A = this chain, B = another copy of it.
Amino acid sequence: MRLRRTLRVGLVGHGFMGKAHSNAWRQAPRFFQLPADVVLRTICGRNARALKKSATQFGWKKYATDWRAVVNDPEIDIIDITTPNDSHCEIALAAAAAGKAILCEKPLALNVTEAQRMTDAVRKARVVNMVCHNYRRLPALALAREMIAEGALGDRLFHYRARYAQDWIADPDFPLVWRLRSDTAGSGSLGDIGSHIIDLGRYLVGEFREVCALSETFVKRRRLAGHRKRRARVTVDDAVSVLGRFRNGALASLEATRFALGRRNGLTIEINGSGGSLVFDLEQLNRLQFYNMCDPEKGRGFRDIIVTESAHPYVGHWWPPGHLIGYEHSFVHTIADFVRAVAGQKNVAPNFADGLANQQVLAAIAESAQSKRWVRL
């Protein structure tokens, strides 16, 4: 008789993403039949006081302020990285060296060099690795992928149009947080939210061939966080727009911005193919619009599919049809699949190689915005 394995998790970071991942680690075993038990072993952060509170609140057995100790703890099987982007590489390299399975928040790294090192490290260490592009596992987007694979959009894709629009820094008085500094964040809207629509482009359409971009920092200087008056330069982009082509000939039109008032978390996608179109909006995340040329002419129109049926990906594990799920469920699905991969020592997508490919597109976009030229991938 085979023993059921227990996977013990060490989570680095306890901010917004730490909270979302903690929830997912707790919830995944409650809604999915996982092949291993999951233990929320240790949560790690720098501020001991706040961390202790997070540990209790989020349901972790222990907390620790030294990530190296966590990474090297033999009682830990999985390292989950949710810290700011500038520490992903170092932590991941150490975790790979320690033979841990690794889940890492997006974007994978600060730049291509780091991403390459990380990808090499997990390959060499043969550890299961995954980048947390959670939106792939929203039921509506997983359904979109299924439908495209099944030919619902025809044999040819023409357009991939994706926009990730937020508005949280449109106010010029918003302070200079870490996400607005290139040393900690790598880039601005590009890496933070642009990386999502690049990942979804690769997931739904294919590999990018070339890009041409424009980027802008609308508010050039901001006050330092915690200061009333001291101001410093914003060193990342507020918005970036991209034209591109995929290898399969489809055109890409991308945009990431934090200056679109009213778009609180507005990720919209439209894909047009020779047989139909799909439309998605993150602010209506349980829905997928589908236009099907096969419908009779008199009755054609975008279908508003509420993606809550048992026939739909992931969502049948939750509630009966018509009962909506939320944002955080995408993390639960991600972690359920990750646990399965770790338990079975199998590959899972998107992995670090995908994170690297994403980073290459990010770099090409940044280079194009800088040089005002097309950049080939």
Which of A64-72, A123-131, A178-186, A300-308 contacts the other chain?
A: A300-308
Contact across chains for B299 and A265 when beta carbons are under 8 A apart:
no
Interface string of A24-61 (1 = CB under 8 A from B): 00100010000000000000000000000000011100
Of A58, A288, A303, which is in contact with the most chain B CB atoms at under 10 Å from its CB? A303
Chain B residue with the shortest CB-CB distance to A295: B303
Of A265, A297, A326, A374, which is in contact with the most chain B CB atoms at under 10 Å from its CB? A326
Contact across chains for B328 and A319 when beta carbons are under 8 A apart:
yes
Which of A89-97, A110-118, A277-285 contacts the other chain?
A: A277-285
Contact across chains for A213 and B276 when beta carbons are under 8 A apart:
no
Min distance, Cβ A29 to any Cβ of chain B, angstroms: 8
Contact across chains for B277 and A260 when beta carbons are under 8 A apart:
yes
In the assembly, what is the distance between CA of A90 and CA of B259, in Å? Answer: 46
Interface size on A, residues (CB 8 A): 95
Say which residue of B261, B275, B285 sits within 8 Å of A293 (CB atoms): B261
Contact across chains for B306 and A245 when beta carbons are under 8 A apart:
no
**A299: chain B residues within 8 A (beta carbon):** 147, 152, 290, 292, 303, 305
In the assembly, what is the distance between CA of A27 and CA of B30, in Å? Answer: 11
Say which residue of B143, B244, B264, B312 sits within 8 Å of A306 (CB atoms): B264
**A319: chain B residues within 8 A (beta carbon):** 16, 20, 326-328
Min distance, Cβ A197 to any Cβ of chain B, angstroms: 13
Contact across chains for B30 and A158 when beta carbons are under 8 A apart:
no
**A262: chain B residues within 8 A (beta carbon):** 272, 276-277, 291, 300-302
Say which residue of B168, B170, B212, B322 sits within 8 Å of A265 (CB atoms): B322
Binding site for B on A (CB under 8 A): 16, 20, 22-23, 26, 30, 57-59, 143, 146-147, 152, 156, 158-159, 161, 163, 165-168, 170, 212-214, 216, 218, 239, 241-245, 249, 251, 253, 255, 257, 259-266, 270, 272-277, 283-293, 295, 297-306, 308-309, 311-312, 318-329, 372-374
Q: Jot down 12 A-B pairs with beta carbons below 8 A, ordered by A.
A: A168-B321, A212-B243, A262-B277, A262-B302, A265-B323, A286-B326, A297-B309, A298-B312, A300-B305, A304-B304, A319-B327, A326-B326
